[in-house]
Structure 1
Amino acid sequence: MSTPSSGTESLPVLQRAFAPKGKLRASINLGNPILAKQDPLSGEPVGVSVDLARALAERLSLELELLVFDAAGQSVEAVSDERADVGFFAVDPLRAEKIAFTPPYVLIEGFYLVRADSPVRSNRDVDQVHNRVTVGKGSAYDLFLTRELKAAQIVRAPTSPAVVKIFLEQGLEVAAGVKQQLEADASIATGLRLLNERFMVIRQAMGVARSRGDATASALQRFVENMKASGFVSSSLTRHGIAGASVAPVHCKNTRT
């Protein structure tokens, strides 16, 4: 069986590097439905991130344990603290201080949602002192907008799926998040509209704690590049009925595993 290595690391070495506790513990964030969600029948997490976790465990001949979280920040902390061995996150420089990211495997768009009668007509209208923008605490949007917004106030919802609920309950001016999540929430409420341009592109990647070493990070990078080049990621998105997300370009020509 092939492994996510360059041929220089043996399978036992990679197993110890990725899973020092004996099983591969993957951190799964249910706060982004493009990547993972709870199956309504089985109650189990499903999605492209779950598929990738299973594929990595299979490549490493390891048992898989899924550690499920409701918010991105919790999922990031689990990997940073080494309570989980690998995770699935949006690439962000703050997170990169403790986590070694692979190149992205999926690209997702971030959008703003407002009320139909809102004077906010475009992205440049958002960063005003009278606007309050709600985001999921610790999400890629939170990290990005915390750096980018200079005048608007950020209101943090406990999780990304709770953003529109907080936006409506507190009478806030703007909600920010995954386009598909906002569209779904807007479809069950009245008088809401998405702005017609994205404010960011989220690069979703896999990651390991930097403390696991460069060799582990490089092996994971090669695994992700192979999963993109082989069509695995594209097939997974199609199988789970995910629209609005695209497979990221292959960055490394040598994707041999």
Structure 2
Amino acid sequence: MALPGFAQDASGKAELTPTGTLRIGLIQAPSAGLIFVGRTSDGKPYGVTADLSADLAKKVGLSFAITLFPNSGAAAAALQAETIDVSFMPVDAARKQVLDFGPGYYDLESTYLVTGASGIVDVAQVDRSDLRVVAIDGTTTIRASARTLKQTQPVAVPSVAEAIERMRTGTADAFALSRDTLQPIVAQVPGSRIVTGGFQQTQVAVVVPKGRPAALALVTAWLAEAKRSGIVRGIFDAHGFSGDAVAP
């Protein structure tokens, strides 16, 4: 059922859903994580952000529709074009110029998955001129990787699935992504490992198109309450992330 405080916020709901339906953009990957969603055999998205989306729609008393994107850059572009109303993605300075972020729900660290043949164990060792690094196009991770690498640069690929395929086939040596998302990928790339250390720390947050202050206030209040009440903690636990902390 809708909570009165959220459901009665007429200006917030009007700004959040100009079409009358809450249009949510989520990011798809082969395995669900704290940012990415997977898909069931019948195509239904599942994962942490899918459950957060359902809770948001329930609390504000709105019907919702989910659009899946191959990467957060594509979801960010859809928010800018206002073809979706809300999403969840990592924060960085470039995105804050064009989108409005609410509170974070998870503290993210970006790092690298490397092949066994590379011999690399530490994040600093990735910065080699002969190393082929891939990262997802349009993301905070590829921007941070490009800033921190001096001897090589990441090559953009459109999706997690494409990056995994390059690692499997030996056409990439390192894959830049969030640590939590890389963990289930290790088993999909025989001999691979996640390096120690990281090159980016940021938050994954709820985000709306720029220039919708009432909508931003509404999603900010919703997520703050979902964290305070333990809903976010319960969603993490339900998806196997009991060892990961909810952002304060």
TM-score (norm 2): 0.88
Would the aligned equivalents of 1:107 and 1:245 in 2 still touch at CA under 8 Å?
A: no
Residue in 1 that maps onto 2:82: 82
Aligned residue pairs: how many?
A: 244
- Counterpart of 2:93 in 1: which secondary structure? coil
- 5+ residue gaps in structure 2? none
Residue in 2 that maps onto 1:230: 229
CA displacement 1:102-161 (0-9 Å, x = unmatched)? 121112332212222424332112223222211111222112212222321211121123
Residue in 2 that maps onto 1:138: 138
* Residues 195 and 75 (structure 1), Cα distance of their counterparts in 2 relative to 1, 3 Å cut: same
Would the aligned equivalents of 1:36 and 1:45 in 2 still touch at CA under 8 Å?
A: no
Percentage identity across aligned positions? 25
Residue in 1 that maps onto 2:216: 217
- Counterpart of 2:96 in 1: which secondary structure? helix
How far apart in 2 are the matches of 1:36 and 1:2? Answer: 30
Where does structure 1 differ by over 4 angstroms across 4 or more consecutive aligned residues? none
Residue in 2 that maps onto 1:2: 4
Residue in 2 that maps onto 1:94: 94
Would the aligned equivalents of 1:111 and 1:176 in 2 still touch at CA under 8 Å?
A: yes
Would the aligned equivalents of 1:102 and 1:221 in 2 still touch at CA under 8 Å?
A: yes
- Counterpart of 2:189 in 1: which secondary structure? coil
Would the aligned equivalents of 2:22 and 2:64 in 1 still touch at CA under 8 Å?
A: yes
Distance apart, 1:4 and its partner CA: 4.0
Residue in 1 that maps onto 2:32: 33
- Counterpart of 1:66 in 2: which secondary structure? strand
- Counterpart of 1:203 in 2: which secondary structure? strand
Larger CA deviation: 215-224 vs 29-38: 29-38
Larger CA deviation: 116-125 vs 42-51: 116-125
Would the aligned equivalents of 1:108 and 1:246 in 2 still touch at CA under 8 Å?
A: no
* Residues 114 and 180 (structure 1), Cα distance of their counterparts in 2 relative to 1, 3 Å cut: same
How far apart in 2 are the matches of 1:36 and 1:129? Answer: 31
Larger CA deviation: 105-114 vs 12-21: 105-114
Residue in 2 that maps onto 1:255: none
Alignment of 1:41-80 (within 5 A): 41-80=41-80
How far apart in 2 are the matches of 1:46 and 1:201? Answer: 25
Aligned mate of 1:21, from 3, 19, 22: 19
Distance apart, 1:44 and its partner CA: 0.5
Distance apart, 1:189 and its partner CA: 3.4
* Residues 184 and 218 (structure 1), Cα distance of their counterparts in 2 relative to 1, 3 Å cut: same
Larger CA deviation: 114-123 vs 13-22: 114-123
- Counterpart of 1:172 in 2: which secondary structure? coil
- Counterpart of 1:121 in 2: which secondary structure? coil
**Residue 177 (str. 1) matches residue 177 (str. 2):** yes
CA displacement 1:146-193 (0-9 Å, x = unmatched)? 222232121112112322212343532322113344332321333222
Residue in 1 that maps onto 2:159: 159
- Counterpart of 1:208 in 2: which secondary structure? strand
* Residues 244 and 72 (structure 1), Cα distance of their counterparts in 2 relative to 1, 3 Å cut: farther
How far apart in 1 are the matches of 2:188 and 2:56? Answer: 37
Larger CA deviation: 189-198 vs 75-84: 189-198
CA displacement 1:15-71 (0-9 Å, x = unmatched)? 211101111111111137213423434421122212222222222221111111122
Would the aligned equivalents of 1:161 and 1:181 in 2 still touch at CA under 8 Å?
A: no
Larger CA deviation: 80-89 vs 194-203: 194-203
**Root mean square deviation of aligned Cα:** 2.2
* Residues 208 and 22 (structure 1), Cα distance of their counterparts in 2 relative to 1, 3 Å cut: same
